[in-house]
Structure 1
Amino acid sequence: MGLSRKSRRNLKKLRGEAGDLWSEQREVLDHAASVLKKASRQAGEVAKRDVAPRVKTTYEKRLQPGVEAGVGAVRSAADHSRQTWNRAILPAVTGAIGATLAVIDVARDNGRVAIREASRTSRELGTRAGQKLGIIEVKPTPRPGRYIAVALGVIAVGAVAYAAYQTLRADDDLWVEDEPVEAPVA
Protein backbone atom coordinates (compact mmCIF):
# COMPACT_ATOMS: atom_id res chain seq x y z
CA MET A 1 0.00 0.00 0.00
CA GLY A 2 1.53 3.28 -1.09
CA LEU A 3 1.18 6.11 1.40
CA SER A 4 1.29 9.77 0.53
CA ARG A 5 3.88 12.04 2.05
CA LYS A 6 1.31 13.53 4.35
CA SER A 7 0.28 10.10 5.58
CA ARG A 8 3.89 9.08 6.13
CA ARG A 9 4.49 12.35 7.95
CA ASN A 10 1.45 11.76 10.18
CA LEU A 11 2.51 8.18 10.92
CA LYS A 12 6.03 9.36 11.70
CA LYS A 13 4.58 12.01 14.01
CA LEU A 14 2.44 9.35 15.74
CA ARG A 15 5.47 7.11 16.16
CA GLY A 16 7.39 10.02 17.69
CA GLU A 17 4.54 10.82 20.10
CA ALA A 18 4.35 7.17 21.15
CA GLY A 19 8.11 7.17 21.77
CA ASP A 20 7.81 10.38 23.81
CA LEU A 21 5.02 8.84 25.87
CA TRP A 22 7.09 5.72 26.51
CA SER A 23 10.07 7.80 27.64
CA GLU A 24 7.83 9.87 29.94
CA GLN A 25 6.47 6.68 31.50
CA ARG A 26 9.97 5.37 32.03
CA GLU A 27 10.90 8.67 33.71
CA VAL A 28 7.85 8.44 36.01
CA LEU A 29 8.71 4.86 36.97
CA ASP A 30 12.39 5.75 37.48
CA HIS A 31 11.33 8.65 39.70
CA ALA A 32 9.02 6.36 41.70
CA ALA A 33 11.84 3.86 42.14
CA SER A 34 14.21 6.58 43.35
CA VAL A 35 11.62 7.90 45.82
CA LEU A 36 11.03 4.36 47.09
CA LYS A 37 14.78 3.86 47.48
CA LYS A 38 15.06 7.17 49.40
CA ALA A 39 12.13 6.21 51.64
CA SER A 40 13.66 2.84 52.49
CA ARG A 41 17.01 4.49 53.13
CA GLN A 42 15.27 7.03 55.39
CA ALA A 43 13.51 4.23 57.27
CA GLY A 44 16.88 2.53 57.77
CA GLU A 45 18.40 5.75 59.08
CA VAL A 46 15.49 6.26 61.46
CA ALA A 47 15.91 2.71 62.67
CA LYS A 48 19.67 3.20 63.23
CA ARG A 49 19.35 6.65 64.76
CA ASP A 50 16.23 6.29 66.92
CA VAL A 51 15.26 2.66 67.26
CA ALA A 52 18.59 0.94 67.80
CA PRO A 53 19.73 3.25 70.65
CA ARG A 54 16.35 2.93 72.37
CA VAL A 55 16.45 -0.83 72.11
CA LYS A 56 20.03 -0.87 73.37
CA THR A 57 19.34 1.45 76.31
CA THR A 58 16.19 -0.47 77.12
CA TYR A 59 18.14 -3.69 77.08
CA GLU A 60 20.95 -2.30 79.21
CA LYS A 61 18.73 -0.49 81.70
CA ARG A 62 15.77 -2.82 81.95
CA LEU A 63 16.43 -6.24 80.58
CA GLN A 64 19.95 -6.94 81.79
CA PRO A 65 19.27 -5.96 85.40
CA GLY A 66 15.91 -7.72 85.17
CA VAL A 67 17.55 -11.04 84.44
CA GLU A 68 19.67 -10.60 87.49
CA ALA A 69 16.92 -9.18 89.68
CA GLY A 70 14.29 -11.71 88.85
CA VAL A 71 10.99 -12.25 87.17
CA GLY A 72 9.44 -8.94 88.28
CA ALA A 73 12.14 -6.96 86.57
CA VAL A 74 11.79 -9.05 83.41
CA ARG A 75 8.07 -8.26 83.30
CA SER A 76 8.80 -4.57 83.71
CA ALA A 77 11.36 -4.69 80.93
CA ALA A 78 8.91 -6.51 78.67
CA ASP A 79 6.23 -3.92 79.39
CA HIS A 80 8.61 -1.07 78.71
CA SER A 81 9.86 -2.76 75.52
CA ARG A 82 6.28 -3.28 74.36
CA GLN A 83 5.47 0.35 75.09
CA THR A 84 8.60 1.51 73.25
CA TRP A 85 7.69 -0.72 70.32
CA ASN A 86 4.11 0.56 70.23
CA ARG A 87 4.95 4.25 70.76
CA ALA A 88 8.19 4.71 68.83
CA ILE A 89 9.25 1.88 66.56
CA LEU A 90 5.93 0.80 65.08
CA PRO A 91 4.78 4.34 64.11
CA ALA A 92 8.14 5.10 62.47
CA VAL A 93 8.12 1.88 60.44
CA THR A 94 4.46 2.17 59.43
CA GLY A 95 4.98 5.83 58.47
CA ALA A 96 7.86 4.90 56.18
CA ILE A 97 5.86 2.04 54.65
CA GLY A 98 2.81 4.29 54.20
CA ALA A 99 4.88 6.99 52.48
CA THR A 100 6.40 4.39 50.18
CA LEU A 101 2.98 2.97 49.27
CA ALA A 102 1.63 6.47 48.65
CA VAL A 103 4.48 7.20 46.25
CA ILE A 104 3.84 3.92 44.43
CA ASP A 105 0.09 4.68 44.18
CA VAL A 106 0.76 8.15 42.78
CA ALA A 107 3.18 6.75 40.22
CA ARG A 108 0.71 4.01 39.24
CA ASP A 109 -2.14 6.54 38.89
CA ASN A 110 0.03 8.87 36.81
CA GLY A 111 0.93 5.96 34.58
CA ARG A 112 -2.73 4.99 34.13
CA VAL A 113 -3.73 8.55 33.28
CA ALA A 114 -0.88 8.92 30.82
CA ILE A 115 -1.66 5.61 29.12
CA ARG A 116 -5.38 6.44 28.91
CA GLU A 117 -4.60 9.87 27.41
CA ALA A 118 -2.11 8.41 24.95
CA SER A 119 -4.63 5.77 23.89
CA ARG A 120 -7.33 8.36 23.31
CA THR A 121 -4.97 10.68 21.42
CA SER A 122 -3.59 7.91 19.22
CA ARG A 123 -7.12 6.65 18.48
CA GLU A 124 -8.22 10.17 17.47
CA LEU A 125 -5.13 10.73 15.34
CA GLY A 126 -5.51 7.31 13.71
CA THR A 127 -9.16 7.98 12.91
CA ARG A 128 -8.38 11.38 11.41
CA ALA A 129 -5.54 9.95 9.35
CA GLY A 130 -7.76 7.08 8.16
CA GLN A 131 -10.48 9.52 7.16
CA LYS A 132 -8.04 11.69 5.24
CA LEU A 133 -6.62 8.68 3.45
CA GLY A 134 -10.07 7.38 2.61
CA ILE A 135 -9.60 4.15 4.56
CA ILE A 136 -12.29 5.04 7.08
CA GLU A 137 -15.60 6.37 5.80
CA VAL A 138 -17.01 9.44 7.47
CA LYS A 139 -20.57 8.74 8.53
CA PRO A 140 -22.90 11.67 7.83
CA THR A 141 -24.72 12.94 10.86
CA PRO A 142 -28.45 13.60 10.54
CA ARG A 143 -29.24 17.29 10.29
CA PRO A 144 -32.51 19.08 11.05
CA GLY A 145 -33.32 19.46 7.35
CA ARG A 146 -33.86 15.73 7.08
CA TYR A 147 -36.54 15.79 9.78
CA ILE A 148 -38.20 18.91 8.35
CA ALA A 149 -38.41 17.22 4.92
CA VAL A 150 -39.99 14.12 6.48
CA ALA A 151 -42.55 16.27 8.34
CA LEU A 152 -43.43 18.19 5.15
CA GLY A 153 -43.85 14.88 3.29
CA VAL A 154 -46.22 13.57 5.98
CA ILE A 155 -48.24 16.80 5.85
CA ALA A 156 -48.43 16.62 2.03
CA VAL A 157 -49.61 12.99 2.11
CA GLY A 158 -52.25 13.96 4.69
CA ALA A 159 -53.45 16.88 2.55
CA VAL A 160 -53.76 14.64 -0.54
CA ALA A 161 -55.64 12.01 1.47
CA TYR A 162 -58.04 14.64 2.84
CA ALA A 163 -58.67 16.06 -0.63
CA ALA A 164 -59.42 12.56 -1.97
CA TYR A 165 -61.81 11.92 0.91
CA GLN A 166 -63.64 15.17 0.29
CA THR A 167 -63.92 14.36 -3.40
CA LEU A 168 -65.09 10.78 -3.04
CA ARG A 169 -67.42 11.00 -0.05
CA ALA A 170 -71.12 10.40 -0.52
CA ASP A 171 -73.00 13.64 -0.54
CA ASP A 172 -76.55 12.35 -0.13
CA ASP A 173 -77.73 15.28 1.85
CA LEU A 174 -76.73 17.87 -0.77
CA TRP A 175 -79.74 17.13 -3.02
CA VAL A 176 -83.08 18.08 -1.55
CA GLU A 177 -86.11 16.94 -3.50
CA ASP A 178 -89.07 19.22 -3.81
CA GLU A 179 -91.98 17.91 -1.81
CA PRO A 180 -95.48 18.67 -2.93
CA VAL A 181 -97.19 21.18 -0.78
CA GLU A 182 -100.34 19.77 0.67
CA ALA A 183 -103.44 21.74 1.26
CA PRO A 184 -104.14 22.70 4.80
CA VAL A 185 -106.54 20.45 6.56
CA ALA A 186 -109.60 22.23 7.71
Structure 2
Amino acid sequence: MSLTRKRKKELRRLQHDATELWEHQQQLVGHAANVAREASRQLGNVGREQVLPAVQETYNRHFAPSINRGVKAGREAMDKKVLPAVGGVLGTAMSAWDAANAKRQGLSFTREPAAPVKRGPGIGSIVAIVLGVAAAAGVLYAAWQALRTDDELWVADDPLSAPEA
Protein backbone atom coordinates (compact mmCIF):
# COMPACT_ATOMS: atom_id res chain seq x y z
CA MET A 1 0.00 0.00 0.00
CA SER A 2 1.40 3.31 -1.01
CA LEU A 3 0.80 6.36 1.18
CA THR A 4 1.27 9.91 0.13
CA ARG A 5 3.95 11.99 1.75
CA LYS A 6 1.32 14.06 3.51
CA ARG A 7 -0.32 10.90 5.04
CA LYS A 8 3.05 9.55 6.15
CA LYS A 9 3.83 12.86 7.83
CA GLU A 10 0.41 12.87 9.56
CA LEU A 11 0.92 9.27 10.72
CA ARG A 12 4.39 10.06 12.10
CA ARG A 13 2.99 13.08 13.96
CA LEU A 14 0.14 10.94 15.32
CA GLN A 15 2.62 8.27 16.45
CA HIS A 16 4.76 10.93 18.09
CA ASP A 17 1.70 12.36 19.89
CA ALA A 18 0.64 8.88 21.01
CA THR A 19 4.14 8.16 22.37
CA GLU A 20 4.19 11.51 24.18
CA LEU A 21 0.73 10.83 25.65
CA TRP A 22 1.88 7.39 26.77
CA GLU A 23 4.91 8.86 28.55
CA HIS A 24 2.74 11.47 30.27
CA GLN A 25 0.37 8.75 31.43
CA GLN A 26 3.27 6.74 32.85
CA GLN A 27 4.49 9.81 34.75
CA LEU A 28 0.95 10.45 36.02
CA VAL A 29 0.59 6.86 37.23
CA GLY A 30 3.95 7.10 39.01
CA HIS A 31 2.93 10.35 40.66
CA ALA A 32 -0.43 8.85 41.69
CA ALA A 33 1.39 5.89 43.29
CA ASN A 34 3.60 8.30 45.26
CA VAL A 35 0.56 10.26 46.43
CA ALA A 36 -1.22 7.04 47.47
CA ARG A 37 1.87 5.85 49.35
CA GLU A 38 2.14 9.15 51.23
CA ALA A 39 -1.61 9.14 51.98
CA SER A 40 -1.29 5.63 53.40
CA ARG A 41 1.61 6.72 55.60
CA GLN A 42 -0.30 9.75 56.85
CA LEU A 43 -3.39 7.63 57.53
CA GLY A 44 -1.29 5.26 59.62
CA ASN A 45 0.11 8.20 61.59
CA VAL A 46 -3.35 9.66 62.23
CA GLY A 47 -4.59 6.23 63.31
CA ARG A 48 -1.73 5.79 65.77
CA GLU A 49 -1.81 9.35 67.09
CA GLN A 50 -5.52 10.20 67.12
CA VAL A 51 -7.83 7.23 66.61
CA LEU A 52 -6.11 4.55 68.71
CA PRO A 53 -5.89 6.65 71.91
CA ALA A 54 -9.55 7.67 71.56
CA VAL A 55 -10.63 4.07 71.05
CA GLN A 56 -8.55 2.87 74.00
CA GLU A 57 -9.93 5.62 76.25
CA THR A 58 -13.52 4.81 75.25
CA TYR A 59 -12.92 1.10 75.78
CA ASN A 60 -11.36 1.69 79.20
CA ARG A 61 -14.17 4.01 80.25
CA HIS A 62 -17.21 2.13 78.92
CA PHE A 63 -16.41 -1.51 78.21
CA ALA A 64 -13.56 -2.57 80.51
CA PRO A 65 -15.57 -2.24 83.76
CA SER A 66 -18.41 -4.39 82.40
CA ILE A 67 -16.02 -6.98 81.04
CA ASN A 68 -14.08 -7.09 84.31
CA ARG A 69 -17.33 -7.57 86.27
CA GLY A 70 -18.32 -10.40 83.90
CA VAL A 71 -14.93 -12.10 84.24
CA LYS A 72 -15.05 -11.78 88.02
CA ALA A 73 -18.58 -13.22 88.16
CA GLY A 74 -17.51 -16.08 85.87
CA ARG A 75 -14.51 -16.90 88.07
CA GLU A 76 -16.64 -16.84 91.20
CA ALA A 77 -19.25 -19.12 89.62
CA MET A 78 -16.52 -21.47 88.45
CA ASP A 79 -14.85 -21.58 91.87
CA LYS A 80 -18.02 -21.82 93.96
CA LYS A 81 -20.39 -23.88 91.82
CA VAL A 82 -18.83 -25.65 88.85
CA LEU A 83 -15.56 -26.95 90.34
CA PRO A 84 -17.17 -28.44 93.48
CA ALA A 85 -19.84 -30.15 91.39
CA VAL A 86 -17.34 -31.49 88.86
CA GLY A 87 -15.03 -32.56 91.66
CA GLY A 88 -17.85 -34.51 93.31
CA VAL A 89 -18.81 -36.18 90.06
CA LEU A 90 -15.20 -37.06 89.26
CA GLY A 91 -14.64 -38.37 92.77
CA THR A 92 -17.71 -40.60 92.52
CA ALA A 93 -16.68 -41.81 89.05
CA MET A 94 -13.14 -42.60 90.22
CA SER A 95 -14.50 -44.48 93.24
CA ALA A 96 -16.75 -46.51 90.95
CA TRP A 97 -13.79 -47.14 88.62
CA ASP A 98 -11.61 -48.30 91.51
CA ALA A 99 -14.38 -50.58 92.78
CA ALA A 100 -14.83 -52.06 89.32
CA ASN A 101 -11.08 -52.63 88.98
CA ALA A 102 -10.94 -54.29 92.39
CA LYS A 103 -13.85 -56.52 91.47
CA ARG A 104 -12.23 -57.41 88.14
CA GLN A 105 -8.91 -58.18 89.86
CA GLY A 106 -10.74 -60.43 92.30
CA LEU A 107 -12.42 -62.29 89.45
CA SER A 108 -9.26 -62.73 87.42
CA PHE A 109 -7.61 -64.80 90.19
CA THR A 110 -10.40 -67.35 90.05
CA ARG A 111 -10.29 -67.77 86.31
CA GLU A 112 -7.50 -68.27 83.85
CA PRO A 113 -5.36 -65.22 83.24
CA ALA A 114 -7.07 -62.88 80.84
CA ALA A 115 -5.48 -62.04 77.51
CA PRO A 116 -3.61 -58.72 77.57
CA VAL A 117 -5.81 -55.84 76.56
CA LYS A 118 -4.73 -54.26 73.31
CA ARG A 119 -4.25 -50.55 73.90
CA GLY A 120 -4.47 -48.00 71.11
CA PRO A 121 -4.16 -44.27 71.04
CA GLY A 122 -6.42 -42.58 73.57
CA ILE A 123 -8.78 -39.68 73.01
CA GLY A 124 -6.05 -37.22 74.05
CA SER A 125 -3.71 -38.53 71.38
CA ILE A 126 -6.42 -38.29 68.73
CA VAL A 127 -7.29 -34.71 69.71
CA ALA A 128 -3.58 -33.77 69.65
CA ILE A 129 -3.15 -35.30 66.18
CA VAL A 130 -6.22 -33.49 64.82
CA LEU A 131 -5.05 -30.16 66.27
CA GLY A 132 -1.55 -30.72 64.87
CA VAL A 133 -2.91 -31.46 61.40
CA ALA A 134 -5.18 -28.38 61.56
CA ALA A 135 -2.25 -26.18 62.63
CA ALA A 136 -0.06 -27.55 59.84
CA ALA A 137 -2.85 -26.94 57.31
CA GLY A 138 -3.21 -23.37 58.58
CA VAL A 139 0.51 -22.73 58.22
CA LEU A 140 0.56 -24.20 54.71
CA TYR A 141 -2.47 -22.11 53.67
CA ALA A 142 -0.90 -18.93 55.05
CA ALA A 143 2.36 -19.68 53.24
CA TRP A 144 0.49 -20.35 50.01
CA GLN A 145 -1.41 -17.05 50.32
CA ALA A 146 1.83 -15.18 50.98
CA LEU A 147 3.80 -16.76 48.15
CA ARG A 148 1.25 -16.96 45.36
CA THR A 149 1.51 -14.47 42.51
CA ASP A 150 -1.20 -11.96 41.82
CA ASP A 151 -0.87 -10.55 38.33
CA GLU A 152 -3.48 -7.87 39.05
CA LEU A 153 -1.28 -6.34 41.78
CA TRP A 154 1.84 -6.07 39.60
CA VAL A 155 2.92 -2.57 38.58
CA ALA A 156 5.76 -1.98 36.16
CA ASP A 157 8.78 -0.17 37.59
CA ASP A 158 10.02 1.12 34.25
CA PRO A 159 7.84 2.97 31.73
CA LEU A 160 6.62 0.85 28.89
CA SER A 161 7.19 1.86 25.31
CA ALA A 162 4.25 2.95 23.20
CA PRO A 163 2.83 0.48 20.73
CA GLU A 164 4.02 0.81 17.16
CA ALA A 165 1.53 2.21 14.64
TM-score, length-normalised on structure 1? 0.33
